[in-house]
Structure 1
Amino acid sequence: MLNDPSVLILMYFILPVWLLAGCADWLCHRASHIETTTGAKESMLHLLMFAEIGVPLLAAIFLQINAGIIALMIAAFFVHEATALWDVSYAVTARNVTPIEQHIHSFLEMIPLMAILFIVSLHWGQFQALFGFGSETARFDLNWKEEPLPATYVVSIMAVILTFELIPYIEEFFRGLRANHGALVPPKARVYKSQ
């Protein structure tokens, strides 16, 4: 399976572009002074979205894909979309969300959908079985991948996620708390909300 073009596109194009978009989004937040505009509350929403997408990503990296994993990915996608809407609805009340940042958001929203579609195409039988179609029986068990991804790839991806995604967004959260003396919502955001 590691020689399948779809798997290679997922590993070496879709995931890296997604991670670049996440890092670019963090830079946009920093440039718009998120700590004094929407503060730690918005950063908390970013960490929530990170978790919502991180769980299915880890499942795809380490577990055998079956109907259960596909269902998890689909559910996480919709929950992530709802949180993204909540995030932007709050962000625009007190922070300038530039056209560049909005464009980056389009990547952050559509790349997970692309990834799910690639995974569905690779595991079409289990996708059909999830909805009671096809010849396969839907499986919901959790098993390690029969053919694991290369260890160097997994270590590299985890290092990139930690360095350029998780640590920056945690830093953003604490920067917001620090700037507002521990409050989740800065005074400026409270003023906008009350108008």
Structure 2
Amino acid sequence: MHDPALSLLMYVAFPLWVAAGFADWTCHRRTDIARTSGWKESALHLLMFTEIGVGMLVVALCEITTAVLGIVALVFVVHELTVYADLRYTVPLRPVGPFEQMVHSFLELLPLASLALLAVSAWDQPPDWSLHAKRQPWPAAYLWGAAVTAALINGLPYAQEMVSCLRARSKGNRRG
């Protein structure tokens, strides 16, 4: 693969997203999400993780067409709406300090930067509103490594967060 935009997506944007996701989880843990905003906020985090995961899966497996750009743009908009719902719910219930706000900036802008990189990569393509499997698939080692990395560094901590929130709720340490 010799596309600089896709290389930036794979080897810069994705690792930054994983790191920012983990940093965000540490902020939640530090502010005791299980006893403050609880499982509802945690569910929104899992939803945002899933939203971005769907977009990344489409990008990793499909040729970059107008359809893929549209899907990624839709994922970005849906993710932003979920972020808004998350903040509206959370801010009255637990502190969201400056560091966490900066982490959120990365988590919000990396999908938009990824969309821009994809658009640059497909700039000279004629409009194509269909999905096609990649003619030159990304290396299997990269795909597996990215999936395992996201699962271990983001998925597992957010699952732990949800379990902690549900335990606190069942013990009466959190309302709702």
TM-score with structure 2 setting the length: 0.94
- Of the three residues 122, 134, 140, the one matched with 1:145 is 134
Q: What is the CA–CA distance in structure 2 between the aligned matches of 1:76 and 1:186, rounded to whole Å?
A: 32
Report sequence identity in percent.
Answer: 38
1:38-64 per-residue CA deviation (whole Å, 9 max, x = no partner) reads: 001000001111111111110011111
Return the offset for 1:20. 0.3
Paired residue for 1:47? 46
Q: What is the CA–CA distance in structure 2 between the aligned matches of 1:16 and 1:26, rounded to whole Å?
A: 15
Return the offset for 1:182. 7.9
How do 1:1-195 residues align onto structure 2 when only pairs under 5 Å count? 2-126=1-125, 136=126, 138-181=127-170, 186-187=174-175
The count of corresponding residues between Structure 1 and Structure 2 is: 176
**Runs of 5+ in structure 1 lacking a partner?**
127-135, 191-195
Give 1 or 2 for the bigger CA radius of gyration.
1
Q: Describe the SS at the equivalent of 1:46.
A: helix
Q: What is the CA–CA distance in structure 1 between the aligned matches of 2:171 and 2:117, rounded to whole Å?
A: 42
Give the residue type in structure 1 aligned to 2:151.
L
Contact 2:42–2:162 (CA under 8 A) maintained in structure 1: yes
Contact 2:3–2:121 (CA under 8 A) maintained in structure 1: no
Cα root mean square deviation, aligned: 1.6
Q: What is the CA–CA distance in structure 2 between the aligned matches of 1:175 and 1:142, rounded to whole Å?
A: 39
1:89-141 per-residue CA deviation (whole Å, 9 max, x = no partner) reads: 11111111111000000000001100000000111245xxxxxxxxx2x3232
1:152-182 per-residue CA deviation (whole Å, 9 max, x = no partner) reads: 1111111101101111111111110111118
**Runs of 5+ in structure 2 lacking a partner?**
none
